[in-house]
């Protein structure tokens, strides 16, 4: 809390000076994005502000329990706001259609923890050392002395937990555990969150996981693991894109593997890649940056145009080059 007094105070002052807000997040929102957006939205509503929450994509099924009031909405062109706050979004482009619809604003505040953040806001609080945006929102609410209610505690615990791999990723710091403990003290329902997020998957995802185990490949002395998800795989299993979250961990956890990669067909000629690294010397954010993407050193992604084979060859070659640093 002492590390960011000036920027937090500036954000709080700006919020207090405005009345209508839109909280926006990145395309294909994850737990940190959703939890941060909705927690901030509820907190601002508690202070009497008028708040709208916009995202290009809907909430994935596994996170719908976080949104019982239906705050998440599709962007509506032409609406104006005093202040727009972007949470957990590394670039304005990643806001997608939501970004295109918030031109009518007086102020844009950018709160994020991605090292690749482009600082696109009028006010930017970017803290790559923090493992989740949820921790930043928690700190903001505490400094502002806004009530952290039980629903807000649920949202922030989900944000922190999901972006730290349930407190397992190396980015997790001692303060992260203190944050989690304080949120549980404030009412976060640990049993419900763990059941909804980690223990309740549709059958279609299990069928997709069966595909992963039968089709994944290894290369570079088994240090690289990868698999493809094509439209025919979704059609056959009945799965949707949201069901892919966490699948990469199943091949990342193989003992010799250093980097795991998922190639997902978005549409003909466009592939979404997700990378995970288990070694401090292999920064997958730098690999994804070569293809116009980004993220964290241990988890990153990008969208790449080209034929599936050309994309696969280029990405695997970039990973192999990065692995040269690992003995």
Task: Name the token pair of 170.
Answer: 């190396």
Q: Return the pLDDT at 307.
A: 96
* pLDDT-flagged residues of the chain (< 50): 1-2
Domain boundary among 198, 229, 254: 198
Give me the pLDDT at residue 38, please.
Answer: 98
Strands 81-87 and 105-112: parallel
Are 121 and 33 in a shared domain?
yes
Domain identity same for 158 and 222? no
Q: What is the CATH number of the domain that holds 78?
A: 3.90.1640.10
d(CA 300, CA 56): 20
Residues 84 and 150 in one domain: yes
Nearest-angstrom CA–CA distance, 85 and 83? 7
In this structure, the answer to whether residues 105 and 226 fall within a common structural domain is no
Structure tokens at 40: 């901030």
d(CA 315, CA 263) in angstroms, rounded, equals 10
Residue range of the domain that includes 97 = 5-198
pLDDT of 244 reads 92
Q: How many CB atoms lie within 10 A of CB 272?
A: 20
Residues 245, 166 share a domain? no
Q: Report the candidate in 93, 28, 35 with the shortest Cα–Cα distance to residue 55.
A: 28
For residues 189-217, one letter each, b for 16 or more C-beta atoms within 10 angstroms of the residue's C-beta and e for the rest, the string is beeebeebbeeeebeebeebbebbeeebe
Assess whether 110 and 73 both reside in one domain.
Answer: yes
> Measured between alpha carbons, how far is 88 from 175 in angstroms, rounded to an integer?
19
Q: In this structure, are 294 and 316 located in the same domain?
A: yes
> Does residue 79 sit in the same domain as residue 98?
yes
Give me 80's structure tokens: 């104006």
CATH number of the domain bearing residue 299: 3.10.310.30
H or E element at residue 72 = strand 72-73
Q: What is the 3-state secondary structure (H, E, C) of 233-272?
A: HHHHHCCCHHHHCCHHHHHHCCCCCCEEEEEEEEECCEEE
pTM (2 decimals)? 0.90
Instruction: Let me know whether 156 and 210 are in one domain.
Output: no
State which of 198, 222, 244 marks the end of a domain. 198
Same domain, yes or no: 255 and 305: yes
Domain count along the chain: 2
- Rounded to whole angstroms, the Cα distance separating 3 from 327 reads 37
Among residues 179, 198, 217, the one where a domain terminates is 198
Q: Do 84 and 187 lie in a common domain?
A: yes
Rounded to a whole number of angstroms, the CA Rg of the chain reads 20
The whole-number pLDDT of residue 25 equals 97
Q: Give the pLDDT score at 1.
A: 39
């Amino acid at each position: 809390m002492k590390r960011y007094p000036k920027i937090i105070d500036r954000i709080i002052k700006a919020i207090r000076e405005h009345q209508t807000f839109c909280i926006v997040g990145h395309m294909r929102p994850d737990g940190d994005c959703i939890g941060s957006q909705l927690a901030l939205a509820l907190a601002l509503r508690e202070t009497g502000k008028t708040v709208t929450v916009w995202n290009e994509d809907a909430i994935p099924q596994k996170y719908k329990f976080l949104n019982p009031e239906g705050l998440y909405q599709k962007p509506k062109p032409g609406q104006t706001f005093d202040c727009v706050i972007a949470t957990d979004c590394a670039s304005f482009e990643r806001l997608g259609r939501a970004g295109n619809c918030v031109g009518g604003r007086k102020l844009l505040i950018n709160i994020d923890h991605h090292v690749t953040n482009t600082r696109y806001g009028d006010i930017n609080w970017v803290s790559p050392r923090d493992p989740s945006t949820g921790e930043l929102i928690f700190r903001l609410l505490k400094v502002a002395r806004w009530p952290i209610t039980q629903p807000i505690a649920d949202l922030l615990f989900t944000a922190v937990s999901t972006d730290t791999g349930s407190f397992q990723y190396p980015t997790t710091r001692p303060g992260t555990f203190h944050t989690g403990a304080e949120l549980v003290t404030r009412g976060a329902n640990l049993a419900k969150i763990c059941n909804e997020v980690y223990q309740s998957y549709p059958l279609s995802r299990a069928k997709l996981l069966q595909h992963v185990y039968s089709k994944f490949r290894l290369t570079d002395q088994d240090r690289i693991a990868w698999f493809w998800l094509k439209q025919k795989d979704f059609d056959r299993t009945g799965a949707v894109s949201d069901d892919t979250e966490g699948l990469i961990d199943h091949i990342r956890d193989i003992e010799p593997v250093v980097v795991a990669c998922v190639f997902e067909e978005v549409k003909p000629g466009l592939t979404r890649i997700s990378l995970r690294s288990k070694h401090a010397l292999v920064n997958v954010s730098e690999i994804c940056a070569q293809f116009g993407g980004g993220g964290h050193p241990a988890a990153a992604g990008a969208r790449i145009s080209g034929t599936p084979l050309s994309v696969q060859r280029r990405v695997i070659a970039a990973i192999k080059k990065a692995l040269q640093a690992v003995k």
